Amino acid sequence: ICFGPSGIRSLRGGLGSSVVFPQSVRRRLFLLFSLVCSCDFPRCVSSFFPPGSSIWITCFCYISWTPLPWYGPYWQSPPPDEQKLLFNRIISCHLSIVSPGLFLRSAPCQQVLGLVENQSDWYLGNLWKNHRPWPALGRGFNTGVILLLLDRLRKLRWEQMWRLTAERELMSMLSTSLADQDIFNAVIKQNPFLVHQLPCFWNVQLSDHTRSEKCYKDVSDLKVIHWNSPKKLRVKNKHVEFFRNLYLTFLEYDGNLLRRELFGCPSEADHNSENLQKTLSELDEDDPCYEFRRERFTVHRTHLYFLHYEHESSSDNTDVTLVAQLSMDRLQMLEAICKHWEGPISLALYLSDAEAQQFLRYAQGSEVLMSRGNVGYHIVYKEGQFYPVNLLRNVAMRQVNTPYMFLSDIDFLPMYGLYEYLRKSVVQLDMANTKKALVVPAFETLRYRLSYPKSKAELLSQLDMGTLFTFRYHVWTKGHAPTNFAKWRTATTPYRVQWEADFEPYVMVRRDSPEYDRRFVGFGWNKVAHIMELDAQEYEFVVLPNAYMIHMPHAPSFDITKFRSNKQYRVCLKTLKEEFQQNMSRRYGFAALKYMTAENNS
């Protein structure tokens, strides 16, 4: 049961521990995971397990007609499998997950559910005064782990039995306290013959009021650990440190290993995967730029909405999302950007599985980040040797749900009030009916501690004093020269500028603007190519007179270091540039010849 996109965070630990069996019990198995989930989950989980994964996941719909204080769906119909083991999402598994079926198959034919007794006193009603739980048989049963015999359930007309029981109890109980577990127990109370009690080590429940320690003599006896306390990993238990480390091990496990057929299981043909392999086989492995070319076709695991996200675009159709990408070494910029930009943000983070858990702890420990529900964090997991900068930008762009997006970089702090200023510019410049790219002039400082200018007048003062500079004025003047900073100093109205070779401004565009070209990875030409594409599609570049952003200093990235020190890196980048320009000529014809000419003259 996984509710919302962030449910994948918990799901991946359970899946990892289910798939990565100890060597002594590994066998040839086919694992099918069916997830009861909310409607936004399938899109997120499909990107997390892309083509080529050894895990197949099927998402089926549910209806939430039962009044619940938290997730707890009702299944419209049992999935078609004969036998299924259903896990709640906060679990860690150990050993083979098919073993409990032996218990139930040897049970009387009326028994259709395999459950572990609830290990707390919840259903006994003695936890606190006036505690009124749902009806249950004895201590009740915990539904964190359920073994279902689906063929028998269908013969019993399980759907009707479930619904009638729920409707009857809801007349007096009004809502559930423990979601579907309450309804399961009410059904079992009326029909005790349905349940076969599994040994408690199949669902060791770690909460403050359980008797879980009595379930086992040694931790090696355990099969499933169930973190069913609101405290999760902070729950008290004499072995909690071991359990916590075991759980975190699976969370930080390299998920790319799950993209291989670990057990040699037969699998159906995946046409997307086959086409990808065919494309890769056509590349020349002796090409000095082979790794660059291959990177374009790498399919990365992606976890969309790693943290909770909620934002409704404004009704006036002027809303703007800031788009950026980053790696682990730029996390310190997140709080500052959130303080400067109050609107929605879409971020793509390039992290390993272990780094994703570090980021989670960092974000949950930040009051600034936790106070913002309109920041979408999308994890793209590391694979390959290059930083896929344009892929990351595209991932962040695809999750934008506002009409406009401001394409920025993580090292820039936008001016205070830029969000509202851009929204006003949408109306002023008729962005809805014209193809414009609004240029936000870029500056930089060499100081780690900067008194951020609160107005254009303050910025000009700092520019004159040498505290600020136009961005890359000393190493890459051409990148922002067309912005015409001399004109901007005195401008009071927006002004149009022409595209020039190597122009790479930061712009606000409509959401339907072209994506970045994935062939450019690491350092060099990734933004230049995108601006060239905008120009080829006849976008007007309009500089905003009262907007600005400032680049904050940081250590050189690994990719720029490779660019500067590795001649072959520079040769390959030049080759990719030429191929991109040739591609532009084929797509846009005679109009694109100016890009070839401009490059030759630069």
Q: What domains lie within the chain, and their CATH numbers?
A: 7-259 (3.90.550.10), 302-601 (3.90.550.10)
List of residues 6+ apart from 250 with CB closer than 8 A: 12, 13, 14, 16, 17, 20, 92
Q: In percent, how much of the chain has pLDDT > 70?
A: 75
Indicate if the pLDDT at residue 306 is higher than 50. Answer: yes
Q: How many CA atoms lie within 13 A of 448 on its CB side?
A: 3
Structure-model confidence comparison of residues 324 and 295, the more confident one: 324
Q: Give the confidence band of 83 by pLDDT, cuts at 50, 70, 90.
A: very low
Which of 129, 125, 153 has the alpha carbon at shortest distance from 139? 125
Q: Give the confidence band of 78 by pLDDT, cuts at 50, 70, 90.
A: very low
- 3-state class (DSSP) for residue 322: strand
Q: What is the mean predicted confidence (pLDDT) over 479-495?
A: 95
User: Per residue in 113-167, pLDDT tens?
Assistant: 889 999 888 888 887 888 889 999 999 999 888 888 878 888 888 888 888 998 8
Q: What is the mean predicted confidence (pLDDT) over 39-62?
A: 56
Indicate if the pLDDT at residue 48 is higher than 70. Answer: no
pLDDT score of 445: 92
Indicate if the pLDDT at residue 492 is higher than 90. Answer: yes
User: Per residue in 497-522, pLDDT tens?
Assistant: 999 998 999 999 999 999 999 989 88
Indicate if the pLDDT at residue 272 is higher than 70. Answer: no
Region of poorest pLDDT, from 17-31, 281-295, 377-391, 464-478: 17-31
Region of poorest pLDDT, from 228-232, 252-256, 399-403, 514-518: 228-232
Neighbouring-strand partners of residue 197: 115
Q: What is the mean predicted confidence (pLDDT) over 460-474?
A: 92
Which residue carries 């014809």 as its tokens? 589
pLDDT score of 105: 57
pLDDT score of 569: 86
Indicate if the pLDDT at residue 91 is higher than 60. Answer: no
| pTM for this model (two decimals) | 0.78
Q: Which bin fits 390, alpha (ψ -120 to 50), beta or left (φ > 0)?
A: alpha
CB 85 within 8 A of CB 102: no
Structure-model confidence comparison of residues 11 and 363, the more confident one: 363
pLDDT score of 334: 96
User: Per residue in 409-458, pLDDT tens?
Assistant: 999 999 999 999 999 999 999 999 999 999 999 999 988 888 999 999 99
Q: What is the mean predicted confidence (pLDDT) over 34-39?
A: 59
